[in-house]
Amino acid sequence: MKDFIKYIGIFFIRTIVRFFYIVPVKEDRVIISCYLGTQYAGSPKVISEYIREWGKGKYEIIWAFKNKDDFAFLKDYGIKTVGYYSVKRLFLEATAKYCIDNAAGCFGWFPSRKGQYHIDTWHGGGCYKTDGILEKRGKFALKRLLFHIHETTHMVSSSSFFSRETLRNALLYQGRILEIGMPRNDILFKAEKHAGIRRKLAGIYCLDMQKIWILYAPTWREEGDVGSPDVERMKKAVAIRFGKEALFLKRTHKFMEAHAGQSVTDVTDYTDMQDLLCACDILITDYSSSLWDFSFTFKPCFIYAPDVEIYHHNRGFYRDIYTWGFPVCKDDEELFHAIVRFDGQAHKENMERHQKELGSFEKGNATESFYRYFFAK
């Protein structure tokens, strides 16, 4: 019933929005949202900062947030904010030339309008868990998603496999695809900036720079967290393999509740996942697209998936998980031995093979390519 009400709500909002179409499209207006108005992060954030720097004041940049007071600091950078569900937001987006989002969240509210761009940067790279018509969604949840996709004029893609399997086949998207890589991943190619990011995080969370940082970042599950690896056992494995003490950091998905014990540093409130990937030494995750992002650092990465059979049955994968190139561990024992036996050269070759198999578009210049396509004309 909830999905049905949301689906019907789209038509109500579209009716309101049409009244705003008597106002011409404002050529210099850019309105942006991220993760349904909950964060200032991801590719939308990177694009926003690039427009602000290279646009040199030419563009009016507006962010839509559910709790806009939490992002009042953006005013110091000349960026306006508006309530995500406000009528003002509907007006601003109905009259903006550039509308940027990363979660297929709202474009269905706005009927296609000549001279306007609805750009979805998407929120995951590579191509791992299924989506769209391949995912087991409710009837009206799927209809709502496809409604938003239909009104999207441009999608950003990280790989040829993603373009084909997710955008064209699973989401039935027929619009233009920018095969440029994900703007949020550009920072992963700038190794000279990683030490500074690590120092910043060390200051925020009082972390020892000399220790090895293990980041555990599971994806969202409808049934909630399936549990974390045995922290002390993982630290022992790292000490055996790499000869150093380790710190254990945990970042849960934005829709999951965080739990951290005495020996775990909870970094969930740090919204820039790419910063965490740049700073950490080891990533442990499951079916998250952070696998794709982290593969470009060539640092150790392990899949911890005690529920792999259940998840595969309930959600599904585009490709067999054992072909992705990452060690797949179903329990603490397997994860312990995977860390102890880690082979850096073999891992690098596996990541290069994985990126090639998916047809990666990531080169570290996606943001520049995005800007040139839309704004440097």
What is the average per-residue pLDDT within 337-347? 98
**Cα–Cα nearest to 370, from 142, 156, 166:** 156
Asked whether residue 95 is assigned to any structural domain, the reply reads yes
In this model, does residue 172 exceed pLDDT 50? yes
In this model, does residue 161 exceed pLDDT 50? yes
**pLDDT for position 350:** 98
Asked whether residue 305 is assigned to any structural domain, the reply reads yes
Q: What's the whole-model pTM score?
A: 0.94
34 and 170 fall within a common domain: yes
Given a contact cutoff of 8 angstroms between Cβ atoms, the answer to whether 71 and 65 are in contact is: yes
In this model, does residue 218 exceed pLDDT 80? yes
**pLDDT for position 158:** 97
Given a contact cutoff of 8 angstroms between Cβ atoms, the answer to whether 288 and 125 are in contact is: no
Asked whether residue 42 is assigned to any structural domain, the reply reads yes
Asked whether residue 261 is assigned to any structural domain, the reply reads yes
What's the mean per-residue pLDDT of the chain?
93
* Residue 25: CATH number of its domain: 3.40.50.11820
**pLDDT for position 254:** 47
26 and 57 fall within a common domain: yes
Q: How many CB atoms lie within 10 A of CB 199?
A: 13
In this model, does residue 331 exceed pLDDT 90? yes
pLDDT band at 171 (very low <50, low <70, confident <90, very high): very high
**pLDDT for position 223:** 61
Asked whether residue 21 is assigned to any structural domain, the reply reads yes
Q: What are 10-61's pLDDT values in tens digits?
A: 888 999 999 999 999 999 999 999 999 999 999 999 999 999 999 999 999 9
**pLDDT for position 253:** 57
Asked whether residue 197 is assigned to any structural domain, the reply reads yes
Given a contact cutoff of 8 angstroms between Cβ atoms, the answer to whether 189 and 363 are in contact is: yes
210 and 156 fall within a common domain: no
237 and 276 fall within a common domain: yes
Backbone angles phi, psi at 97, to 5 degrees: -75, -35
**pLDDT for position 189:** 98
**Cα–Cα nearest to 270, from 331, 342, 203, 327:** 203
Q: What are 224-277's pLDDT values in tens digits?
A: 666 789 999 999 999 999 999 999 999 985 443 444 455 899 999 999 999 999
Q: Is the dihedral of CA 265, 267, 273, 278 positive or negative?
A: negative
**pLDDT for position 123:** 92
**pLDDT for position 91:** 97
Q: What are 62-84's pLDDT values in tens digits?
A: 999 999 999 999 999 999 999 99
* Residue 277: CATH number of its domain: 3.40.50.12580
Q: Which domain holds residue 87?
A: 2-181+363-374
246 and 296 fall within a common domain: yes
165 and 214 fall within a common domain: no
Please state the domain count of the chain.
2
**pLDDT for position 225:** 65
**pLDDT for position 258:** 42
Asked whether residue 186 is assigned to any structural domain, the reply reads no
290 and 169 fall within a common domain: no
In this model, does residue 180 exceed pLDDT 60? yes
pLDDT band at 144 (very low <50, low <70, confident <90, very high): confident
56 and 93 fall within a common domain: yes
Asked whether residue 249 is assigned to any structural domain, the reply reads yes
87 and 167 fall within a common domain: yes
144 and 197 fall within a common domain: no
11 and 138 fall within a common domain: yes
Q: What are 125-134's pLDDT values in tens digits?
A: 998 999 888 8
286 and 146 fall within a common domain: no
Contacts 24+ apart (CB under 8 A), 175-181: 178/154, 178/369, 178/370, 178/373, 179/361, 180/156, 180/361, 180/365, 180/366, 180/369, 180/370, 180/373, 181/125, 181/360, 181/361, 181/362, 181/363, 181/364, 181/365, 181/366, 181/369
